Amino acid sequence: MKGGAQARFLTRLRAARPLVAVELRPPKSGLSYEDSLDLWIDMYHATRAFTNQDTVVFLTDNAVGEAEEENLYHAAANLGQEGNLSSVVPFLTCKHSLDYCLLYAKRAASQGIEALTVLGGDSSVGPPRCLEHGYLLRKLIRQQVPSLALGGWANPHADPRRQVDFILADDFQAEFFLTQVVSHHQRAVIERFLTEAERRGVPYPGVFGVFLYRSAHAGTLRKLTRFFPVPAEEITREFAAGVPPEEICARTIRCLRELGVDKVYVSNLGIRGAQERYRKLLAAL
C-alpha cells in the first residue's frame, strides 16, 4: 500500500470523531428508460450530497443477488472530475469473472477511487464466484494495484474466535473491515465479538453495519432473514409503539457507541429520500 491520497480514507477511519457512513445501491439493471433516468437523477443528488459531508459512501455490488448497474460507473458519472471520489468505497465481490475484477480494480484506481471493500459475495444467489474467498481476490489486487486500500468482512453473528482468526490471518490482505448488520437487540452478540477482537489485538479499523428498517412488514422482515439475523419481534414492537424508523436505527448506533464502536455504515437508506432519512437519523443521535 502506498500513496498519500488513499491514506486520507484510512485516516478518516482511524480518526477520533465518529463516522456515520452510508451504503447506497445503484439502480437495478434492466429498468425502463424513464425509471432508470429518475433513479440516475436521485443517485446523482444523493451521492454528491453525501460526499460533500464528513462521511463515506459505500456502493454495493449486486446486493442480495440482484443485478445492479455497475457501481464504479455510477461513481464516476455522478461525481465526475469535480467530485470527491476519495469518499467513495465501492464493493467488489468475486461474483464476476476474474479478468473483470482485476480490470475493475485498475479502473477504480485510475479514476481516483482510494479503497475497495472486496468480498466473496453471497454464494447462494446469483452467478458463481471466480475465486472461493474474498481474500484470494484481495491478494491478486494487492499485487496488481498496490495503491488501493482494501477492506475485508467480518460477521459478529458467527463464532467470534473464527471471525477474528480470519481477520488476523497472514493472508487477510486488508487494511480495514466491514461487518454484517447488527442491532441494539443483539447487544450480547456484539459484545462477544468486540471482546474477542480486543483480547487478541485486532489492529484494523472496523465499520459496523446498521440497518434502517423502514417498516415492520412481516414479509419484508422474513425476506431479510435470508441475508442476516433479523430481530423481527423486537423491531415489530418498536414500530407498534410508534417509534420512527430513524430512531430505531439511532438506538443501534447509540448501543454501538456505548460499546466503544464509533464507525458505522447505514444500510437501506434507499435512493429517493436518502438525504432526508440521513438527516433525521443524525438528529436522533
| Separation between Cα atoms, residue 145 and residue 52, nearest integer Å | 27
Mean pLDDT by 10 residues, the chain (285 residues): 58 94 84 71 84 89 77 79 78 96 95 94 86 97 96 98 98 97 98 98 98 97 95 98 98 98 97 93 97
Domains of the chain with CATH codes = 4-284 (3.20.20.220)
pLDDT of residue 281: 98
* pLDDT on residue 124: 78
pLDDT of amino acid 3: 40
pLDDT on residue 26: 83
Confidence (pTM)? 0.93
Residues counted in the chain: 285
Q: What is the pLDDT of residues 12-39, one digit of tens each?
A: 999 999 999 999 988 777 667 676 777 7
Q: What is the pLDDT of residue 179?
A: 98
pLDDT of res. 125? 78
- Write down the pLDDT at residue 37: 73
Residues 6+ apart with CB under 8 A from 144: 102, 105, 106
